[in-house]
Structure 1
Amino acid sequence: MVNQADLRVVRSKKMIKDAFVDLIEKEGYENITIKDIAKRAMINRKTFYCHYESKAVLFDEIVKDTLDLLMQNLQYEKLDFDDALFSIDLQREIQTILHNVTENRRLFRILFSSSSSYELTMQIERLLQTKIIYKLIKANPAKYLSEIPRELLTSSVSSVFMIIIKWWINQDVYSEEDAAKIFLKLVSTGFTKSFGFTN
C-alpha cells in the first residue's frame, strides 16, 4: 500500500502531473502514452502504475485538484441575498473564482482545450449550481418564479459563467473584477425577472 503522505510519493505524483500537463499542452490528450508520461517525469512505468491505474485516472485527479483550486477561499456562509440578487457579495465570490483561475490560468487553458474538457466543464457547472446558484434560489424562495424550472434556470446561469471563464482565460484585457461584472450584467439582463426582481 502506497503512503500518500510520504514526501517521495507527493514528489513523484507532482512530477507525473506536471509531465502530463506539459504533454497535453504539446501533444494533446489522445496522443499521450504512459511511456511518454514516465519518460517526461523521469520515472519508470512501474512507478507510474504505483500511483495511477491509467492516464484517465490521472486526468480525473487533475480535474478534481483543479475544481478544488477553483473553489478555494469561497465564503458561502457570508453570502446575503436578501436585498439584491446580484449583490456586492456575489460579485466578490465570482471574483474569487476568477482569481483562482488566474492563479492557474495555464492549467485551465490546457484542460479546457483538451478533448476531455467536456467532463471538466460539466463538473464545474455542477459545483457552481450547488455552491452558488442553487443558494440564490434557496435564499429567496418567495422571489423565485415557479413557472421557470429550477434545473433550467441553474443550468442556464452556470452555462453563461462557463462561457465567461473560457473566453476570459484566453485574453488579458479584462481584470477579474471586470469579468465578474460582465457575467453579472449578462445574467441580470436575462434572469433578473426570473427571480422576481426588477431593474
Structure 2
Amino acid sequence: MTFHQGRTSKQSERTKTNFKQALIQLIHEHGFSHVSVTDIVKRADYNRTTFYLYYQDKFCLADELKTEMYNKIKESSMNKYKEGVSIITVSMNATSFELTHFIYANQPFFNLYLLEDTLPGLHRDLPQAIYEVLSEHFQLVSVNPNRDINYDAHKLYMAHGTAGLLLDWIEKGYPFSPDSMSKRLIHILDSFAKAFMITSVHSI
C-alpha cells in the first residue's frame, strides 16, 4: 500500500465514522424514521455527493453501523481468551472480558436500544451476538458433573439473560461501573458453570 492509498483509506474511514455518529445523534433527536440523508450530511458537515460515494441510502448506513457494532460486541466478549485454554470461573475478575467496558465507552450507540424508533432490527442484535459467541466458541463445564449445559436452548437462555441484564444497566443510566457490572455477570456464571474453554477464535 502506498502512502497515498493509506491516507485515502484513513480519510474514508473517518468520513464514514462521521456519518455514523451523525446518524446516532439524529436518531436520538428525531427517531430513525424521521431522519433523512439531507439531515445526515448536514449534521456530518459533508455534501450528498460524498454520502453517495459510500452509501445508497440511510438504510445502508444503518446496516453498516449495526454490523460494525455487532462484530465488536462479539470481539469484546472473548478477546481476552486464547483458543484451547480452560478458564476457571472463580478465577475470573472484572478485567476478564471487555464487553461491559465496550458498552460503557459507546453509550450513544447502546442508548439506541432504549428507543422504539431506532435502527431497524437493533433490538435483536445484542442477545444474538452473545448467543453466537456462546454457541460457536464456548464449551462450558457445569458445576454439576452429571449435567450438560452446552445444548442450544441453554446457551440461548444464557444469551438472552445476559443481554437482559446489560439492557437493564443501560436503561437505568449505568448505575454501576463497568467493572461492577462484569463482576455481577461473572457471579451469575459461577452459579452454574465452574469452567469454560474457547474452542475457536477464527470466525470472530
Q: Fold match, TM over 0.5? A: yes
Write the distance in 2 (CA, Å) between the matches of 1:145 and 1:55.
Answer: 48
Deviations along 1:36-63, one digit per CA (max 9) or x if unpaired, are 1122222222221110112111111111
After TM superposition, the structure 1 stretch with the greater mean CA deviation from structure 2, 154-163 or 101-110, is: 101-110
Q: Unpaired segments of 5 or more residues in structure 1? A: none
Quote the residue 2:121 is aligned against. Answer: 119
Write the distance in 2 (CA, Å) between the matches of 1:123 and 1:8.
Answer: 29
Q: 1:176 aligns with which of 156, 175, 178?
A: 178
Write the distance in 1 (CA, Å) between the matches of 2:131 and 2:146.
Answer: 15
Aligned residues between the structures:
185
Between 1 and 2, higher relative CO (CA 8 Å, sep ≥ 6) is seen in 2
Write the distance in 2 (CA, Å) between the matches of 1:107 and 1:172.
Answer: 14
Q: Tell me how large the CA RMSD over aligned residues is.
A: 3.3
Quote the residue 1:12 is aligned against. Answer: 15
Alignment partner of 1:77: what SS? coil
Quote the residue 2:201 is aligned against. Answer: none
Change (3 A) 1:50 1:135: closer
- Higher relative strand content: 2
Q: 2:81 aligns with which of 76, 89, 97?
A: 76
After TM superposition, the structure 1 stretch with the greater mean CA deviation from structure 2, 108-117 or 13-22, is: 108-117
Deviations along 1:136-192, one digit per CA (max 9) or x if unpaired, are 4x354994735x782211111111111111121242431223222323444555xx2
Change (3 A) 1:116 1:151: farther
Quote the residue 2:160 is aligned against. Answer: 159
Any conservation in 1 of the 2:141–2:194 contact (CA below 8 Å)?
no
Q: 1:56 aligns with which of 55, 59, 70?
A: 59
TM-score, with length taken from structure 2: 0.72
After TM superposition, the structure 1 stretch with the greater mean CA deviation from structure 2, 65-74 or 171-180, is: 65-74
After TM superposition, the structure 1 stretch with the greater mean CA deviation from structure 2, 28-37 or 173-182, is: 173-182
Quote the residue 2:48 is aligned against. Answer: 45
- Counterpart of 2:185, as a letter, is F
- Counterpart of 2:54, as a letter, is H
**What's the offset of the Cα at 1:119?**
3.2
Change (3 A) 1:92 1:117: farther
Write the distance in 2 (CA, Å) between the matches of 1:144 and 1:53.
Answer: 54
Any conservation in 1 of the 2:131–2:159 contact (CA below 8 Å)?
yes
- Counterpart of 2:81, as a letter, is Y
Q: Unpaired segments of 5 or more residues in structure 2? A: 196-204
Point out 4+ residue stretches in structure 1 off by more than 6 angstroms: none
Write the distance in 2 (CA, Å) between the matches of 1:151 and 1:144.
Answer: 17
Change (3 A) 1:122 1:151: farther
Write the distance in 2 (CA, Å) between the matches of 1:103 and 1:182.
Answer: 19
- Higher relative helix content: 1
